[in-house]
Structure 1
Amino acid sequence: MKIAVLGSGAMGCLYGGKLAEAGYDVTLIDVWKDHIDSINNRGLHIEGIEGERTVRSIRAVSSAGEAGPCDLLIVFVKATLTAQAVESARGIIGERTSILTLQNGLGNVEKISAVVGEEKVIAGVTGHGSTLLGPGKIRHAGQGVTVIGELNGAVDERLRCIGAVLEKGGFDVKLSQNVMGLIWGKLLVNIGINALTAITGLKNGRLVDFSETEELLRSAVEEAVAVAKGKGVILEGEDPVEHARNVARLTATNRSSMLQDVSNKRKTEIDVINGAIVQEGKRLGIPTPVNKVLYNLVSVKEKTYEEV
């Protein structure tokens, strides 16, 4: 199977690297030239919970067209870039290509479907945490289950095949009949963790060490749960607040993707995480004051990067 990873930052490199180690033909696609050059010249260096090694059986390109046709396209670009990135990858998406999104936030499934058709899309969530250390280097900071599902809820041969591919890459995989509910479940975790870490500079696990941040985590998640219920989303698993706390503990040493973005003065995904809850709350008449504050604070950080 030929696999391409669209958006090869911390998480794209983690999935691409582990799949290449398993023997698959993997191409990473990213716009950061130094990152691409480092991977091609020196390999992809991975350190962290599974030890330290360099993956050399992988290549990287700066445009999707250089990757060539693929059987599986895994999308890891930031949600704000999804439509543009998938449109740029049209040339490598064949009749039998499956597209798997494991991105954060709301709206990615709809954006991808609008470009390539809903029938090509498989959605999922990942419990892994990864940090980009520099060009060609990542730290695997936390691990969990990867859950994938067809949009229509079917557990079919295609889904089983992609699940088996991920399992061969060393991922713990579950197949879901309610993947949109699980995407909301992952969103609730990001609601509780990402903006708070971006504002405070704390690693994930530290959020539950202080009563002040733990209270904000709880309130933000509870608001988002109310919005999810208002939309008729079926949530699965344990209490969402406790789940967010547990994820923070399990990824204690990880710097969230939003904290990494703020540290590197990059555009964050606040619009499709806390911002999405604020917008949906407005539409449904459900108040979301804590999420509004978190959204505003991260937005101001973005606007004042050059002043710091």
Structure 2
Amino acid sequence: MEIKKVSIIGLGALGILFGNHFAKKMPKENVRIIADRERIKKYRSEDVYCNGEPCSFNYVTPEEPCEPADLLIFTVKYEGLHDAIQAVRHHVGKDTIILSALNGITSEGFIGQVYGMDKILYSVAQGMDAVKVGNKLTYDHMGMLCFGDQVPGIISDKVKSVAAFFDKIDFPYEVDTNMNKRLWGKFMLNVGVNQTVAVYKSNYGEIQRDGEARETMIAAMREVITLSEYEGINLTEADLNYWLSVLATLSPEGKPSMAQDLEARRYSEVALFAGAVLEMGEKHRLPTPVNKKLYDTIKSIESTY
């Protein structure tokens, strides 16, 4: 199947990053940004900017009837996932391929419950250092989208279709034949980086150099490695070192989404990270003291809002 029509829901950092690239490489009408009327009104009146340039987006409301998308990408925050799943109904057809770029390891299951797991490819966005302030996104490194089948060791026609499409529009990607491990690896990274930078009120530079913050981050990540053994994923120190090498490529002045959320006094995705670690720790009767401390600190900060 050739991918010609793309729909994106969620105009945060990743939504702008992906949408801006697609809009420059494809006919405008073939890239649809799904948003409610109020959001569209705001986007049109204030514009949305990517590295200083206004984005030329084709906005559609969830109510508008349309041809199903060949490729549908979720880039919402976790708390907006339920509403987003309902909002994309007109964009899902029998051949639609769905990618979820959400953090954590649970969004694919929720989307699959409604539209079928057969439509979903596992995916992970990595290596981008985008910072979004208001309606303006800036980044030095675009990163890439890693994706693949749910079953390890195969490359399906769906994966080949997405890869061919990304080749055509010069979009950076990597096909991974063990996406379960990749998802868990990105989860491990987020548990460490997102939470540590937020708690230390710093940036990537703080955890790229030796010191207390970096030690905290790595200790939080190692708790995920231990849990992964009990969950049958079996992350290793080699996986930790791989993700630390990804981290080393990011702009030192950049910062992850959770740090941006706390700075703006928005509620964070801590439930997806330390919250999930603590739940699995209880399930397997394993101590997770570093994540417990990070969780409590972030919840304490949010309690002042």
Settle same-fold status: TM greater than 0.5.
Answer: yes
Match of 1:3 in 2: 6
Match of 1:278 in 2: 278
- Alignment gaps of 5+ in structure 1: none
1:5/1:73 contact within 8 Å kept: yes
Q: In the TM superposition, what is the alpha-carbon distance from 1:104 to its structure 2 partner? A: 0.6
Q: In the TM superposition, what is the alpha-carbon distance from 1:242 to its structure 2 partner? A: 2.9
Q: 1:89 to 1:22 in 2, by over 3 A?
A: same
1:83/1:115 contact within 8 Å kept: no
Cα deviation 1:156-215 (Å, max 9, x = unaligned): 221111122233443321212211110001111111100111112211122233511011
Looking at structure 1, the residues matched to 304 and 47 of structure 2 have their Cα atoms a distance apart, in angstroms, of: 35
Match of 1:27 in 2: 32
2:122/2:179 contact within 8 Å kept: yes
Match of 2:174 in 1: 174
Q: 2:19 aligns with which of 8, 16, 20?
A: 16
Looking at structure 1, the residues matched to 217 and 280 of structure 2 have their Cα atoms a distance apart, in angstroms, of: 19
Answering whether residue 64 of structure 2 is matched by residue 66 of structure 1, we say yes
**Structure 2 counterpart of 1:138, which letter?**
L
TM-score (norm 1): 0.88
Tell me the SS of whatever aligns to 2:31.
strand
1:100/1:122 contact within 8 Å kept: yes
Map 1:223-262 onto structure 2 (within 5 A). Answer: 223-235=223-235, 239-251=238-250, 252-262=252-262
Looking at structure 2, the residues matched to 32 and 222 of structure 1 have their Cα atoms a distance apart, in angstroms, of: 44
- Alignment gaps of 5+ in structure 2: none
2:104/2:272 contact within 8 Å kept: yes
Q: In the TM superposition, what is the alpha-carbon distance from 1:284 to its structure 2 partner? A: 1.1
Q: 1:6 to 1:181 in 2, by over 3 A?
A: same
Tell me the SS of whatever aligns to 1:165.
helix
**Structure 2 counterpart of 1:157, which letter?**
D
Larger CA deviation: 72-81 vs 113-122: 72-81
2:225/2:234 contact within 8 Å kept: no
**Structure 1 counterpart of 2:63, which letter?**
G
Looking at structure 1, the residues matched to 23 and 117 of structure 2 have their Cα atoms a distance apart, in angstroms, of: 27
Looking at structure 2, the residues matched to 40 and 166 of structure 1 have their Cα atoms a distance apart, in angstroms, of: 28
Looking at structure 2, the residues matched to 159 and 145 of structure 1 have their Cα atoms a distance apart, in angstroms, of: 15
Map 1:1-308 onto structure 2 (within 5 A). Answer: 1-24=4-27, 25-30=30-35, 33=38, 36-37=40-41, 39-40=43-44, 44-47=48-51, 52-56=52-56, 58-61=57-60, 63-66=61-64, 68=66, 69-127=68-126, 128-135=128-135, 137-153=136-152, 154-235=154-235, 239-251=238-250, 252-305=252-305
Looking at structure 1, the residues matched to 279 and 241 of structure 2 have their Cα atoms a distance apart, in angstroms, of: 25
Tell me the SS of whatever aligns to 2:167.
helix
2:65/2:90 contact within 8 Å kept: no
Q: In the TM superposition, what is the alpha-carbon distance from 1:106 to its structure 2 partner? A: 2.0
Larger CA deviation: 222-231 vs 19-28: 19-28
1:188/1:240 contact within 8 Å kept: no
Q: In the TM superposition, what is the alpha-carbon distance from 1:245 to its structure 2 partner? A: 3.2
**Structure 1 counterpart of 2:188, which letter?**
L
**Structure 2 counterpart of 1:202, which letter?**
S
Looking at structure 1, the residues matched to 273 and 74 of structure 2 have their Cα atoms a distance apart, in angstroms, of: 17
2:36/2:62 contact within 8 Å kept: no
Looking at structure 2, the residues matched to 264 and 31 of structure 1 have their Cα atoms a distance apart, in angstroms, of: 23
Tell me the SS of whatever aligns to 1:171.
coil
Q: Once superposed, which parts of structure 1, at least 4 consecutive aligned residues long, lie more than 6 Å away?
A: none
**Structure 2 counterpart of 1:273, which letter?**
F
**Structure 2 counterpart of 1:217, which letter?**
M
Looking at structure 2, the residues matched to 37 and 165 of structure 1 have their Cα atoms a distance apart, in angstroms, of: 31
1:132/1:138 contact within 8 Å kept: yes
Q: In the TM superposition, what is the alpha-carbon distance from 1:42 to its structure 2 partner? A: 7.0
Q: In the TM superposition, what is the alpha-carbon distance from 1:241 to its structure 2 partner? A: 3.5
**Structure 2 counterpart of 1:27, which letter?**
R
**Structure 2 counterpart of 1:290, which letter?**
V
Q: Which has the higher strand share?
A: 1
Pairs aligned (count): 296
1:3/1:27 contact within 8 Å kept: yes
Cα deviation 1:115-156 (Å, max 9, x = unaligned): 111111111111123222322x21124333321012123312
Looking at structure 1, the residues matched to 105 and 36 of structure 2 have their Cα atoms a distance apart, in angstroms, of: 23
**Structure 1 counterpart of 2:18, which letter?**
Y
Tell me the percent identity: 26
